[in-house]
Amino acid sequence: MVDPINTSNGAKLRLQPVQTDGPAAAPGQAQQGQPVSAVDQVHLSDTASARMTERLADTGPPFDAARVSRIKQAVADGQYPVDPQRITDSIFQDYSALMR
């Protein structure tokens, strides 16, 4: 069952101007007009960086790199099997799970 869209609440679409020729900045932002790299920056401490490096060295990457390599090669060779029915079933299963 799908709920209808309620249009009687008086909500109106509010269009905002879009700037396409430079860095985007929110209205009233203190550092308006500066590139994002000059405004937002993230720095890891030496300790956090070392811990992250140690953790990756101990556990490896968070994915199976060998499997990714095999799949990439199969795609490049044109031999990666695509089963449309399996893809469709998976999409519907995910959709059904979201609707619960």
Q: pLDDT per residue over 47-69, tens digit each?
A: 988 888 888 888 877 888 899 99
Q: Is the pLDDT of residue 95 over 70?
A: yes
Distance, in Å, from the CA atom of 98 to the CA atom of 64, rounded to the nearest integer, reads 27
Which secondary structure element, helix H or strand E, spans residue 50, and what is its range?
A: helix 46-59
Give the start-to-end residue ranges of the domains of the chain.
41-99
Q: Is the pLDDT of residue 86 over 80?
A: yes
Average pLDDT over residues 36-42: 68
Question: In b/e form, how buried is each residue of 63-86, taking b as 16+ CB within 10 angstroms?
Answer: eeeeeeeeeeeeeeeeeeeeeeee
With 0.85 as the threshold, say if the pTM is over it. Answer: no
pLDDT at 59: 83
